[in-house]
């Protein structure tokens, strides 16, 4: 009987699973292809249009499809840019105010980048490129043609074409087009010559149809973006801006064929959600073959991809064996990547442990299950996970989290000595070591300044440190004591937290968002930190919209914020304190509205320099200024922990490079073996349950019969 | 009957307008169009120029209810309320704030919701009625008391416990079905087993108690006493007479929720990764996509009204004494 039940269950589950030899709890169908990478995503991407996309969860997909001119070397640290579709690094010319070349950098008014792309790069096959009788067959679809079209796969014909410099130029025009809502159009109008004029011109043009609009965009040019030949173009900047090359490595500067824009702008396709925002078209190693952000995203190898050699192991700094095997082999190593939407932590973590996801992050709920601290305080994986062959990769993110003071506030802000000493005293009192240990599971390092590790100007807290908050004691750097903070507070006129002028206790206000348990725990902790120096902190919890409103209007007093680097340059962090970026006055990213003439003039000097000892010296001076003024409580730089199974090879930590899927390699034999071993179906409970049900049914029948008889006799 | 249905449709219009007005007011009291734009455009490097252009493109630059710069009917037509909410009456859901066609998304996502809700309803109905009949059969005995305690215990446990516990036991320890995920077509069955089982178990407590009370009410009636005095056995009375008569409230109770099955379950879909309408609504609320929220509220209202009309009609079908006027 038991054997019969087991067979029935197995047969039904096999039928459901498509007669697969995979375990019953496998969430995947049968696939013949063994070079598949399985992973998950937590939040559905909002935009896959490179002109608009600006978040890491979107870059995880589009960076595998679109190819900007440059990329980060996968293995090198500090981060280094190398050509991707470019045939070489750009040639840079300085131009005087009459656009003549000059060797004198100080006289240069304009900077011109000559950019050359490799020949023979092909786009993925796509219906937008398909021509019939020399005309694009799918650019003007009729209602009848659209009737049977529901996805991109429904187009029977597709074609490709070669990548040309026109495609990069077209994309830069798209960045300027207000219709695309590119988040960097405001930044680029400050740098690219003619960008702002083009932007204004395009916004005023009236057009009848989308096709007409695309034609107008193609025909009108940005003065600073010129085509030189089929494979070469130039970008002229209004000033010197060495960091511009980093922008050229971001998806914003990916090529966009005008054919794609023309194809996707058809209203009939937009009604079926077939848009450029959802179906990317690129030259990269992968193409998006299934886009269901509510369920899964599937990337498949682009057959037209030219191939790329795995980075040389000579460049490798972290010593890992695996690199040797892949040397000079062509990427991508995998044929397919399946990303499943997994909103909740628990199923995501369990599926990773079952082997159904090749990699995973570590959520705070799973931290204790995954990580342990040894006697010397080093972080290591728990034994269970180590036994499974899981390995841990850690890296410090190019990010910073801080508590900011609104410098426009009358109590905490301003450049007076009184407010400066108050800010310094608070900065000493806040124990970020404790914060990291409680709220980030130890995953972070204390920040001495806005600049995170791996970027020139970073202060490690031993050789270079923040002298306002730390001091040398017995040869080691230690944080100044609470007594020191209290002395500063007294100097500021708040002896024991009482305002000397009014005789009333000093009350400060902290603006917070979110209403979860974590938020309240953090706010309690923060109140205690202020209490150490007898300052009362009132926390004002509100929703994110109200919080933003307070920041924009400058009505908040103290707040917590963070920044993820766009590129690994100190300018991308120090600009957060540049006066011209003040949030209230200029709508910029300087949320604390800090304004220092000295800092701003050094910033102006530093930002146009190449990395050099002189630049480092200027950065040091800038850090001295802001550390003394303390517009922020320098918080911490988060550490990223990621786990991957033994069968995943080439798992290097490179937090600047987004296009790393092509380097990943899978040992499928090992994966299948382990998954089968870890997921053997256990029918014991099923038997017990079925047995109990049968007993229950039998007893019920007997009881009913018995009761019926009793009634009759009654 | 047709006259009655027509009358109900006419009654539904002010309800729909009211619900729409309420949703609209609540949404825009909490969020200004600028805030919604900022959320959609992201946190980094957003300029006021981009916010204005985003609002203009979606018609959020108009006044909320009354446009004083226009005259006549246009002062009402050139408003966010007219543009965004009034068109719903023509079933024109428009595009979501993220640029996707809402009608298309609803059509795609209602099927997975239905795939969980329908089997959960049918299996749940069968099990709950069976348990209820069993407890009623042994009413006022220890079996009945224990059954009620069992039901109250089941009702007292959070649905999250069932979900996490079910995933842990069935998928993680016993490895019988996938923890989460979904596939279209018949492959979806292996993903639906666990959420359906959990939904059914979760509903046993409340369902059984509800049906038990219906049967108990019925069993006190005169015709039951007559049947018993005729010498019919307890089981014959319960299954042949009481059960049939209690079907009327059961049927009407089921009919009223039938249309709402399309709307899906918020928590179950989120934990099991089912791309249904429940998770669609939750995502829209989280991302402040007003276009989707208003469409889903409108749809929910219509389906609820439809459910009530169907209930009234079903009364006339199962109970000849009821006539609709």
Q: How far B29 CA sits from the closest chain A CA (Å)?
A: 12
Q: How far B16 CA sits from the closest chain A CA (Å)?
A: 26
Cα B171 to Cα B167: distance, rounded to the nearest angstrom = 5
Task: List C-alpha distances in Å: A49 to A53, A59, A223, A497.
Answer: 6, 10, 24, 53
Answer whether A584 touches B (CB < 8 Å).
no
* pLDDT value at residue A317: 44
Q: Which of A214-218, A554-558, A648-652, B185-189 has the highest mean pLDDT?
A: A554-558
Instruction: Nearest by CB to B53, from A181, A346, A543: name it.
Output: A181
The CATH label, of 1.10.10.10, 3.10.105.10, 3.40.50.300, 3.30.565.10, for the domain at A399-640 is: 3.10.105.10
Cα A285 to Cα A63: distance, rounded to the nearest angstrom = 10
Beta carbons of A18 and B187 less than 8 Å apart: yes
Chain B residues touching residue A292 (CB < 8 angstroms): 275
Answer whether A151 touches B (CB < 8 Å).
no
pLDDT-derived band at B325 (thresholds 50, 70, 90) equals: low
Instruction: Summarize the confidence of residues A105-119 as an average pLDDT.
Output: 93
Helix/strand/coil (H/E/C) assignment for every residue in A209-274:
CHHHHHHHHHHCCCCCEEEEECCEEEEEECCCCCCHHHHCCCHHHCCCCHHHHHHHCCHHHHHCCC
Instruction: Nearest by CB to A271, from B40, B104, B109: name it.
Output: B104
Q: How far A623 CA sits from the closest chain B CA (Å)?
A: 23
Beta carbons of A25 and B179 less than 8 Å apart: yes
Beta carbons of B45 and A184 less than 8 Å apart: yes
CATH of domain A35-42+291-308+324-389+647-681: 3.40.190
Q: How far B108 CA sits from the closest chain A CA (Å)?
A: 11
Beta carbons of A295 and B182 less than 8 Å apart: yes
Higher pLDDT, residue B86 or A54? A54
* pLDDT value at residue A229: 96
ipTM over 0.90 threshold: no
> Architecture of A43-284 per CATH?
Alpha-Beta Complex (3.90)
Question: Cβ contacts of residue B265 below 8 Å, gap of 6+?
Answer: B113, B116, B117, B199, B276, B278
Segment A148-203, tens digit of pLDDT? 888 888 999 999 999 999 999 999 999 999 889 899 999 999 999 999 999 999 98
Segment A338-353, tens digit of pLDDT? 999 998 899 999 999 9
Residues 619-658 of A with CB under 8 A from B: none
* pLDDT value at residue A9: 56
What is the percent of chain A where pLDDT is above 70? 93
Whether residue A315 has pLDDT greater than 70:
no
Q: Residues B29, B42: contact at Cβ < 8 Å?
A: no
Two structure tokens written together for A651:
């798992």
Instruction: Nearest by CB to A346, from B32, B109, B167: name it.
Output: B167
Q: Where are the domains of chain A?
A: 2-19+683-713, 35-42+291-308+324-389+647-681, 43-284, 399-640
Q: A308 φ, ψ to 5°?
A: -150, 150
Chain B residues touching residue A679 (CB < 8 angstroms): 175
Q: How far B96 CA sits from the closest chain A CA (Å)?
A: 11
3-state class of B39 per DSSP? helix
Question: Cβ contacts of residue A36 below 8 Å, gap of 6+?
Answer: A334, A335, A336, A337, A338, A666, A668
Cα A335 to Cα A299: distance, rounded to the nearest angstrom = 8
Beta carbons of B190 and A680 less than 8 Å apart: no
Q: Residues A608, A241: contact at Cβ < 8 Å?
A: yes
Chain A residues touching residue B168 (CB < 8 angstroms): 350
Beta carbons of B190 and A708 less than 8 Å apart: no
Question: Cβ contacts of residue B91 below 8 Å, gap of 6+?
Answer: B103
* Other beta carbons within 10 Å of A587: 16
Closest among A528, A534, A537 to A509, alpha carbons compared = A537
Where do we find the tokens 């006190």? B220
Chain B residues touching residue A54 (CB < 8 angstroms): 42, 44-45
Cα A191 to Cα A198: distance, rounded to the nearest angstrom = 13
Segment A475-530, tens digit of pLDDT? 899 999 999 999 999 999 999 999 998 999 999 999 998 767 788 899 999 999 99
Two structure tokens written together for B74:
């246009």
Segment A36-56, tens digit of pLDDT? 999 999 988 889 999 999 988
Beta carbons of A703 and B47 less than 8 Å apart: no
Chain A residues touching residue B50 (CB < 8 angstroms): 178, 181, 183, 185-186
Q: How far B68 CA sits from the closest chain A CA (Å)?
A: 26
Instruction: Summarize the confidence of residues A674-685 as an average pLDDT.
Output: 93
Q: How far A707 CA sits from the closest chain B CA (Å)?
A: 8
Beta bridge partners of B165: none
- How many inter-chain contacts (A to B, CB under 8 Å) are there? 165
Beta carbons of B176 and A347 less than 8 Å apart: no
Higher pLDDT, residue B83 or A422? A422
Residue in chain A nearest B104 by alpha carbon: A272
Cα A119 to Cα A364: distance, rounded to the nearest angstrom = 48
Answer whether A683 touches B (CB < 8 Å).
yes
Beta carbons of B99 and A277 less than 8 Å apart: yes
Chain B residues touching residue A187 (CB < 8 angstroms): 45
Residue in chain B nearest A27 by alpha carbon: B178
Answer whether A707 touches B (CB < 8 Å).
yes
Residues 393-452 of A with CB under 8 A from B: none
Beta carbons of A704 and B273 less than 8 Å apart: no
Helix/strand/coil (H/E/C) assignment for every residue in A63-120:
HHHCCCCEEECCCCCCCCEEECCECCCCEEEEECCCCCEECCHHHCCEEEEEEEECCC
């Amino acid at each position: 009987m038991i054997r019969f039940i087991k067979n029935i269950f197995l047969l039904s589950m096999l039928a459901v699973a498509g007669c697969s030899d995979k375990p019953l709890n496998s969430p995947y169908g049968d696939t013949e292809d063994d070079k598949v990478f399985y992973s998950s995503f937590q939040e559905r991407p909002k935009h896959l249009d490179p002109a608009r996309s600006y978040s890491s969860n979107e870059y995880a997909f589009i960076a595998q499809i679109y190819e900007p001119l440059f990329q980060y070397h996968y293995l090198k640290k500090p981060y280094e840019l190398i050509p991707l579709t470019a045939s070489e690094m750009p040639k840079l010319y300085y131009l005087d105010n009459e656009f003549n070349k000059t060797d004198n950098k100080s006289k240069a008014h304009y900077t011109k980048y000559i950019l050359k792309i490799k020949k023979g790069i092909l786009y993925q096959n796509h219906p937008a490129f398909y021509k019939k009788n020399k005309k694009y067959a799918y650019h003007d679809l009729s209602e009848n043609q659209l009737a049977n079209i529901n996805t991109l796969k429904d187009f029977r014909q597709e074609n490709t074409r070669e990548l040309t410099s026109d495609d990069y130029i077209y994309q830069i025009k798209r960045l300027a087009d207000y219709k695309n809502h590119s988040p960097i159009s405001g930044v680029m109008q400050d740098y690219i010559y003619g960008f702002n004029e083009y932007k204004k011109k395009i916004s005023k043009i009236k057009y009848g149809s989308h096709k007409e609009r695309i034609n107008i965009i193609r025909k009108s040019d940005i003065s600073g973006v010129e085509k030189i030949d089929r494979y070469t173009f130039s970008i002229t900047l209004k000033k010197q801006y060495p960091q511009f090359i980093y922008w050229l490595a971001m998806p914003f500067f990916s090529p966009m064929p005008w054919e794609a824009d023309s194809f996707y702008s058809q209203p009939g396709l937009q009604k079926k959600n077939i848009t450029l925002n959802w179906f990317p078209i690129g030259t990269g190693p992968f193409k998006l073959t299934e886009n269901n952000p509510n369920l899964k995203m599937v990337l498949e190898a682009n057959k037209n991809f030219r191939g790329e050699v795995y980075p040389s192991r000579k460049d490798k700094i972290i010593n890992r064996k695996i690199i040797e095997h892949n040397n000079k082999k062509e990427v991508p190593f995998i044929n397919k990547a399946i990303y499943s939407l997994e909103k909740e932590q628990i199923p995501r973590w369990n599926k990773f442990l079952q082997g159904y996801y090749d990699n995973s992050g570590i959520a705070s709920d799973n931290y204790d299950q995954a990580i342990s601290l040894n006697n010397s305080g080093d972080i290591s994986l728990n034994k269970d996970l180590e036994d499974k062959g899981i390995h841990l990769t850690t890296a410090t993110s190019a990010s910073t989290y801080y508590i900011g003071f609104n410098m426009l506030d009358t109590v905490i802000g301003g450049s007076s000595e009184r407010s400066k000493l108050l800010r310094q005293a608070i900065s000493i009192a806040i124990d970020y070591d404790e914060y990291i240990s409680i709220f980030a599971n130890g995953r972070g390092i204390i920040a001495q300044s806005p600049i995170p590790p791996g970027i020139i100007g970073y202060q490690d807290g031993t050789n270079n440190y923040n002298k306002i908050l730390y001091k040398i004691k017995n040869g080691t750097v230690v944080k100044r004591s609470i007594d020191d903070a209290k002395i500063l507070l007294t100097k500021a006129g708040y002896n024991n937290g009482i305002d000397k002028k009014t005789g009333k206790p000093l009350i400060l206000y902290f603006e917070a968002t979110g209403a979860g348990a974590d938020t309240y725990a953090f706010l309690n902790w923060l109140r205690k930190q202020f209490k150490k120096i007898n300052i009362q902190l009132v926390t004002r919890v509100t929703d994110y919209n109200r919080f933003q409103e307070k920041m924009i209007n400058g009505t908040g007093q103290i707040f917590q914020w963070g920044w993820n680097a766009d590129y690994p340059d100190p300018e991308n962090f120090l600009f957060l304190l540049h006066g011209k970026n003040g949030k209230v006055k200029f709508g910029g990213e300087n949320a604390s509205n800090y304004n220092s003439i000295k800092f701003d003039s050094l910033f102006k000097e530093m930002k146009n320099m190449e990395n050099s000892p002189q630049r480092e010296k200027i950065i040091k001076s800038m850090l001295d200024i802001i550390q003394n003024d303390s517009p922020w409580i320098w918080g911490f730089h988060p550490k990223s922990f990621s786990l991957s199974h033994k069968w995943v090879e080439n798992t290097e930590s490179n937090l600047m490079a987004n296009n790393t899927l092509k380097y990943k390699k899978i040992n499928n034999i090992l994966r299948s073996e382990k998954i089968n071993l870890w997921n053997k179906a256990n029918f014991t409970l099923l038997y017990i349950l079925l047995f109990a049900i049968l007993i229950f049914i039998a007893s019920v029948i007997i009881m009913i019969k018995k009761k019926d008889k009793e009634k009759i006799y009654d | 009957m047709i006259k009655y249905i027509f009358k109900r449709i006419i009654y539904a219009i002010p309800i729909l307008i009211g619900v729409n007005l309420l949703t609209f007011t609540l949404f825009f009291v909490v969020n200004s169009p600028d805030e919604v734009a900022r959320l959609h455009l992201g946190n980094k490097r957003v300029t006021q120029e981009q916010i204005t252009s985003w609002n203009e493109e979606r018609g959020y630059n108009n006044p909320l209810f009354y446009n004083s710069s226009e005259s006549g009917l246009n002062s009402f037509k050139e408003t966010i309320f007219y543009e965004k909410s009034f068109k719903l009456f023509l079933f024109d859901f428009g595009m979501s704030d993220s640029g996707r066609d809402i009608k298309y998304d609803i059509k795609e996502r209602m099927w997975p919701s239905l795939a969980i809700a329908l089997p959960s309803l049918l299996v749940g109905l069968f099990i709950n009625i069976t348990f209820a009949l069993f407890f009623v059969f042994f009413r006022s005995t220890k079996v009945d008391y224990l059954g009620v305690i069992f039901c109250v215990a089941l009702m007292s446990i959070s649905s999250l416990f069932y979900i996490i516990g079910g995933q842990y036991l069935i998928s993680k320890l016993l490895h019988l079905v996938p923890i989460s995920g979904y596939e279209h077509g018949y492959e979806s069955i292996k993903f639906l087993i666990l959420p359906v089982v959990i939904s059914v178990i979760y509903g046993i407590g409340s369902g059984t108690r509800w049906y038990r009370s219906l049967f108990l009410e019925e069993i006190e009636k005169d015709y039951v006493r007559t049947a018993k005095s005729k010498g019919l056995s307890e089981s014959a009375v319960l299954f042949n007479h009481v059960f049939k008569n209690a079907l009327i409230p059961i049927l009407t109770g089921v009919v009223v929720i039938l249309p709402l099955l399309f709307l899906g379950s918020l928590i179950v879909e989120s934990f099991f990764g089912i791309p249904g309408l429940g998770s669609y609504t939750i995502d829209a609320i989280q991302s402040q996509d007003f276009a989707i929220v208003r469409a889903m509220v409108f749809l929910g209202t219509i389906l609820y009204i439809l459910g009530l009309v169907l209930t009234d009609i079903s009364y006339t079908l199962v109970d000849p004494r009821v006539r609709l006027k």
